[in-house]
């Protein structure tokens, strides 16, 4: 608890040996420096899951969502092949602290996406899936009709789809534009869609999509503190308070300092209750 609020961090990956195969020091330092972090978290530097939880305890973070990413190497970015089984194992070891979201490669390089999704939800207990369409072999966007059977399945399983919508979603900055999410939101109005990294730097366009579609949730995490994100902050005081999800993006930003910075934005107690807990609980079916 922090200041009387239960806190769910929507994006924090424990520094296990398997996770750190992708989050190498060079990789993390590149993002951390640009996201305003002057020193990498001690838990990351030590590769210590125990210290990771200690940092979360000190910050007052109750639960963290481990959003897995499974993608082939693309556009200069390394492959990420941490298995969903590993994520399920670490979640099972800490069921009161962690929640798992499966990484699904829509291009099929790591297995059939539909089979992988059903297995992850029904057998591994994952709370949703995370996809990066533009970084897959399909080299496409979320509104590609070839992905619609996957969305149908997620509706059947009643789990959300987290879409990679950060500035490295694909080779071009336009790949992260929220227009690719809007068509999906319109075609699947009951499907909970989460824009991971909040489509930054297209904050105002992101607001337009979220305003029109209540099934679109914005999870800007570390990018909430980047230049150009001010419209997201302003909207969180209004209509967006029911659709925004707090996250730190650890290890590219600290679990504790991220929450400190979020609280310093001066949101009301009602907004904090929603964005730190209730919205995430609704999306994840808690």
- CATH code at 84? 3.20.20.140
Answer yes or no: is 1 within a domain.
no
Does residue 19 form part of some domain? yes
In a domain, 200, yes or no: yes
3-state secondary structure of 234: helix
Q: What are phi and psi of 65, to 5 degrees?
A: -100, 120
- Give the predicted TM-score (pTM) of the model: 0.96
pLDDT at 78: 75
Which pLDDT does position 76 carry in this prediction?
Answer: 60
Q: Phi/psi at 23 (nearest 5 deg)?
A: -85, 70
SS3 267: coil
Q: Is 122 helix (H, G, I), strand (E, B) or coil?
A: helix
Domains contained in the chain, number: 1
Contacts 24+ apart (CB under 8 A), 73-78: 74/134, 74/135, 74/136, 74/139, 74/170, 74/171, 75/135, 75/168, 75/170, 75/171, 77/135, 77/168, 78/22, 78/24, 78/27
Question: 161 forms bridges with which residues in the sheet?
Answer: 129, 193
In a domain, 3, yes or no: no
Label residue 160 exposed, middle or buried (CB < 10 Å: 0-12, 13-18, 19+).
Answer: buried
Domain membership of residue 67 as a residue range: 8-284
- The alpha carbon of 217 is separated from its chain's Cα centroid by a whole number of angstroms, namely 11
Tell me whether residue 257 is in a domain: yes
Cα distance between residue 104 and residue 160, in whole Å: 13
Residue 246 sits at the vertex; the CA angle it makes with 76 and 78, to the nearest 5 degrees, is: 15
Walk across the sheet containing 216-219 and list its strands. 8-9, 63-67, 98-103, 129-131, 161-164, 193-196, 216-219
Among candidate residues 129, 85, 84, 133, the one with its CA nearest the CA of residue 107 = 133
Residues 6+ apart with CB under 8 A from 246: 7, 8, 9, 10, 221, 259, 262, 275, 276, 280
Pinpoint the alpha helices (H) of the chain. Answer: 25-34, 42-46, 49-59, 84-93, 113-122, 148-157, 179-187, 203-212, 230-236, 255-263, 269-273, 279-284
Instruction: Give pLDDT tens digits along the chain (286 positions).
Output: 999 999 999 999 999 999 999 999 988 999 999 998 878 999 999 999 999 999 999 999 999 999 999 998 765 667 889 999 999 999 999 999 999 999 999 999 999 999 999 999 999 999 999 999 999 999 999 999 999 999 999 999 999 999 999 999 999 999 999 999 999 999 999 999 999 999 999 999 999 999 999 999 999 999 999 999 999 999 999 999 999 999 999 999 999 999 999 999 999 999 999 999 999 999 999 9
Residue 109 phi, psi dihedral angles, 5° rounding: -65, -25
Give the Å distances, CA to CA, from 276 to 10, 20, 73, 201, 267.
9, 27, 33, 23, 11
Q: What are phi and psi of 238, to 5 degrees?
A: -120, -120
User: What are the CB-based long-range contacts (under 8 Å, 24+) for 262-266?
Assistant: 262/224, 263/2, 263/3, 265/233, 265/236
Give a yes or no: residue 252 inside a domain: yes
- Helix (H), strand (E) counts: the chain: 12, 9
pLDDT at position 75 is 57
């Amino acid at each position: 608890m922090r200041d009387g609020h239960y806190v769910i961090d929507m994006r924090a990956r424990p520094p296990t040996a398997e996770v750190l195969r992708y989050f190498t020091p060079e990789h993390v330092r590149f993002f951390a420096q640009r996201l305003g972090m002057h020193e990498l978290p001690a838990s990351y530097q030590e590769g210590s899951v125990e210290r990771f939880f200690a940092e979360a305890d000190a910050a007052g973070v109750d639960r963290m969502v481990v959003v897995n990413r499974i993608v082939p190497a693309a556009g200069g970015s390394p492959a990420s092949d941490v298995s969903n089984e590993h994520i399920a194992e670490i979640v099972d070891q800490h069921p009161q602290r962690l929640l798992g979201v499966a990484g699904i490669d829509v291009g099929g390089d790591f297995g059939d996406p539909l089979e992988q999704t059903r297995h992850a939800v029904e057998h591994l207990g994952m709370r949703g899936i995370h996809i990066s369409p533009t970084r897959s072999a399909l080299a496409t966007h979320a509104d590609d009709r070839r992905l619609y059977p996957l969305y149908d399945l997620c509706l059947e399983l009643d789990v959300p789809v987290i879409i990679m919508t950060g500035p490295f979603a694909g080779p071009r900055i336009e790949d992260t534009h929220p227009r690719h999410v809007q068509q999906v939101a319109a075609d699947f109005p009951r499907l909970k869609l989460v824009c991971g990294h909040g489509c930054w730097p297209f904050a105002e366009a992101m607001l337009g999509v979220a305003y029109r579609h209540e099934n679109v949730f914005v999870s800007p995490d570390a990018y909430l503190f980047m230049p150009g994100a001010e419209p997201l902050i302003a909207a969180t005081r209004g209509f967006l308070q029911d659709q925004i999800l707090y996250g730190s993006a650890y290890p590219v930003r600290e679990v504790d300092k991220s929450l400190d910075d979020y609280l310093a934005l001066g949101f009301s107690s009602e907004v904090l209750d929603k964005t730190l807990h209730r919205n995430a609980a609704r999306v994840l079916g808690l």
